[in-house]
Amino acid sequence: MKRMLALFIFLSSLCLAAPATSTLIANIPGRTTISLNGPWNIIIDPYETGLGSRYYRNAKPKDKSDLVEYNFDKSPTLKVPGDWNTQRDDLLFYEGPVWYRRMFTYHKHANTRTYVYIGAANYKTRVFLNGEKLGEHEGGFTPFNFEATSLLHDGENFLVVEVNNARHVEDVPTVNTDWWNYGGITGDVSLVEVPDAFIQDYFVQLAKGSRDEIAGWVQLNGANSPQQVKLEIPEAKIKQTLTTDSSGRAEFHFPAKLVLWSPENPKLYDVTLTSGADKVTDQIGFRSIETEGTKILLNGKSIILRGIAAHDEAPLRGGRATTAADAQTLLSYAKELHCNFIRMAHYPHNEKEIRLADRMGILLWSEIPVYWDIDWTNPATLASAESQLSEMIARDHNRASVIFWSLSNETPIKPERTAFIAQLATDARALDSTRLITSALNRTTQLGPDLRELNDPLGASLDVLGMNEYVGWYEHKPEYADQLQWKIAYDKPVIISEFGADAPAGRHGDKDERWTEEYQVNVFQHQIAMVQRIPGFAGLSPWVLVDFRSPRRPLPGIQDYFNRKGLISNQGAHKQAFYTLQKFYEGLESQQGVKK
């Protein structure tokens, strides 16, 4: 009885939780910035003594008898952005704190505020400027910023950042994942200069359910009274003047005649917002995304998503993807496969990929790392998930390519989990009502020898159901897919968000021999036939585009700490299954009359 009462109180507290908000500055590429990328001096701190030893002070001995037991000047360097695991062999498996220091020169300007912006750092981060603490951040994949105006010196400055990628049960993700726990500052670092009152964030998209009306809002920071904001889209002949309220917020809604963004025509408009001394320009595409029964509608027309799942891991070089070249290679692989869709698993990917997808016309599924079984009843765990969700949405809510906010992957069915993720769904809709909400589900009910049902109660909170299944790999032989039938408990679109099989590139045998390219092809052939029979089938994103590192995969000579389900090897070799899926997608394009 006590357990049931505790669960009721927990569920009630989730329902009362307010949606998370973000203080993130929007559109950093459109701002005045000073890059702090490049080599940073580092100190590895496996016993976590750096805080007590005050590494953040960047101290030097005052005289020959003064004791200082660290020296950033004589310490080695790591490249930022970049993970530490692949920059030094001795750090491949390292988990714990590393302290980074960057010296820089800065000249202060009147009527200017300056922020330190970090695109991503895994996982817990403390930031210090000139020996004083700026702030802390939790989460390994989303950006964050702290105002630094009062602590900056006119001249020489130093920034010290402690990054700790140690895993904990209460974290998001938790201690168990099937990808590499890359540590370090993996996103761009910059100083962002803005006026005293500036445009912090804005949302400029088609109104929900409309294809000829723009709706959204703008949020000022530092405005003490109502201000005017000009919104202009010159190519569409749009000029709007908005007036903010006392909190610096203005909402808008007006008609617009636009060329809609799509994979076949990824049209982007220059959008400019001006308020006082601040002016921000962005490139934004306009498209609608909604569901109708079991169909996904893009700009009012039914679409089948020809997708692939991908990790944010650098092709060829390895490690966390950080550069524009990494993004170009990964997305070009997807286009070569004839994809119009990528599931970006299992965490927010770097912003370069999302912006390139806008330009290339690739639809995206963006996900937070609520992965497997986490600490569902811990309020701090929920707060971390909400914060990461808020930061993901804040960074990418003007990107036309992003059509799904995904809340989780392969979570167990139990009441506290369902309530936890349902709260995230409520948060996501409060922050952005224009996109679809999904999760990758994998728990099904066996109704008969050859009949399964997807009836996860979390489905009630989702717009689109993702389903991971591995018939032919983790269960049964590939041929079992031919007889397997499916039921779906919800009248909603279904995306087969994962299926696949491991095969090191170049390893050959017959189609029944595991770990061969022929076996991988066999799985794909039977899966492709099966998934099209699933009720509500609206697309797929097989696992996975490129082989990626995983500490759970030690099999010598085959895995060697890589998940080998990629259609492309980590060295760029295209496996036979790549061409099997490519041929299927070419056929879907032809059936849908898509221009190539």
Say if residue 208 is in the same domain as residue 129.
Answer: no
Q: How far apart are CA 475 and CA 454, in angstroms?
A: 17
Say if residue 188 is in the same domain as residue 237.
Answer: no
Q: How far apart are CA 469 and CA 167, in angstroms?
A: 27
DSSP string, 376-426: TT-HHHHHHHHHHHHHHHHHHTT-TTEEEEEEEES----HHHHHHHHHHHH
Say if residue 491 is in the same domain as residue 376.
Answer: yes
Domain boundary among 174, 195, 216: 195
Element of type H or E holding 12: helix 2-16
Q: Which residues contact 169 (CB under 8 A, 6 or more apart)?
A: 175, 375
Domain boundary among 234, 260, 287: 287
Report pLDDT for 590.
Answer: 83
Tokens representing 153 are 């010196």
- Output the 3-class SS for 227-279: CEEEEEEHHHCEEEEEECCCCCEEEEEEECCCCCCCCCCCCCEEEEEEECCEE
Say if residue 260 is in the same domain as residue 150.
Answer: no
Spatial strand order in the sheet of 295-298 = 289-292, 295-298, 301-302
Q: Is residue 12 part of a domain?
A: no
Strand-pair category, 562-563 with 548-549: antiparallel
Say if residue 230 is in the same domain as residue 191.
Answer: no
- Where residue 453 falls (left for φ over 0; alpha for ψ -120 to 50; beta otherwise) is beta
Task: Please say whether the beta carbons of 493 and 464 come within 8 A.
Answer: yes
Tell me, what CATH number does 251's domain have?
2.60.40.10
Say if residue 335 is in the same domain as residue 275.
Answer: no
Q: Is residue 280 part of a domain?
A: yes
Q: Which residues contact 264 (CB under 8 A, 6 or more apart)?
A: 361, 594, 595
Say if residue 81 is in the same domain as residue 169.
Answer: yes
Q: Which residues contact 27 (CB under 8 A, 6 or more apart)?
A: 280, 282, 398
Q: How far apart are CA 220 and CA 200, in angstroms?
A: 5
Tell me, what CATH number does 97's domain have?
2.60.120.260
Say if residue 324 is in the same domain as residue 203.
Answer: no
Task: Please say whether the beta carbons of 203 and 393 come within 8 A.
Answer: no
Report pLDDT for 589.
Answer: 87
Q: Is residue 38 part of a domain?
A: yes
Report pLDDT for 591.
Answer: 84
pTM of the model: 0.95
**Which residues of 26-74 form beta strands (DSSP E)?**
32-35, 38-44
- Using alpha carbons, select from 378, 397, 390 the residue that is nearest to residue 424: 390
Task: Please say whether the beta carbons of 378 and 420 come within 8 A.
Answer: no
Cβ burial of 50 (10 Å; 0-12, 13-18, 19+) is: buried
Tell me, what CATH number does 529's domain have?
3.20.20.80
Say how far residue 164 (Cα) sits from the centre of its chain.
20
Q: How far apart are CA 312 and CA 320, in angstroms?
A: 6
The string of pLDDT tens digits covering residues 258-278 is: 999 999 999 999 999 999 999
Q: Is residue 19 part of a domain?
A: no
Domain boundary among 146, 162, 195: 195
Q: How far apart are CA 81 and CA 321, in angstroms?
A: 9
Say if residue 189 is in the same domain as residue 83.
Answer: yes
Q: Which residues are registered as beta bridge partners of 282?
A: 271
Structural domain boundaries enclosing 217 = 198-287
Q: Is residue 5 part of a domain?
A: no
Say if residue 556 is in the same domain as residue 468.
Answer: yes
Q: Is residue 596 part of a domain?
A: no
The string of pLDDT tens digits covering residues 375-387 is: 999 999 999 999 9
Report pLDDT for 7.
Answer: 44
For residues 474-483, one letter each, b for 16 or more C-beta atoms within 10 angstroms of the residue's C-beta and e for the rest, the string is eeeebeebee
Single-letter amino acid, residue 259: V
Task: Please say whether the beta carbons of 145 and 339 come within 8 A.
Answer: no
Say if residue 209 is in the same domain as residue 317.
Answer: no
3-state secondary structure of 215: strand
Say if residue 530 is in the same domain as residue 401.
Answer: yes
Q: Is residue 528 part of a domain?
A: yes
Q: Which residues contact 548 (CB under 8 A, 6 or more apart)?
A: 179, 180, 311, 313, 562, 563, 566, 570
Q: How many domains does the chain have?
A: 3
Low pLDDT (below 70) residues in the chain: 1-22, 593-596
Q: Is residue 18 part of a domain?
A: no
Q: How far apart are CA 515 and CA 508, in angstroms?
A: 8
**Which residues of 399-543 form beta strands (DSSP E)?**
402-409, 436-441, 445-448, 451-454, 464-468, 485-488, 494-498, 537-540
Q: How far apart are CA 336 and CA 491, in angstroms?
A: 33
Q: Which residues are registered as beta bridge partners of 164?
A: 97, 124
